[in-house]
């Protein structure tokens, strides 16, 4: 079952990982081994979670990389489905 309007993974990172631990964006970026700009783009929903970032998050927060990738896929798919009616696609069928 698909989630209705799933949150961007950056929102999850901010609200469920960083804020409860009192970790700043600078501290988190340093711990993850990425730039502040990279982490900011994710936290603000301007960039998605890459497979490498999913692995970094899994190490930092003792979670699975798959869970981070699944969150990103759910978010991306929900947004793509919202554009379904604008897509110009023909149904293919066997002759």
Give all domains of the chain, ordered by start, each with its CATH number: 9-86 (1.10.260.40)
> What's the whole-model pTM score?
0.88
Structure tokens at 92: 């293919």
Distance CA 69, CA 57 (A): 10
Query: What band does 42 get if pLDDT is binned at 50, 70 and 90?
Result: very high
In the chain, % of residues over pLDDT 90:
93
For the segment 72-82, the average pLDDT, to the nearest whole number, is: 95
DSSP character at residue 25: H
């Amino acid at each position: 079952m698909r989630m209705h309007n799933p949150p961007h993974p950056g929102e999850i990172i901010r609200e469920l990982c960083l804020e409860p631990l009192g970790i700043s964006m600078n501290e988190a970026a340093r711990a993850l081994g990425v730039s502040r700009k990279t982490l900011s783009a994710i936290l603000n929903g301007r960039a998605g979670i890459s497979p490498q970032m999913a692995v970094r998050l899994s190490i930092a927060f003792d979670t699975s990389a798959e869970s981070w990738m699944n969150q990103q896929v759910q978010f991306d798919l929900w947004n793509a489905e919202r554009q379904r009616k604008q897509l110009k696609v023909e149904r293919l069928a066997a002759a």
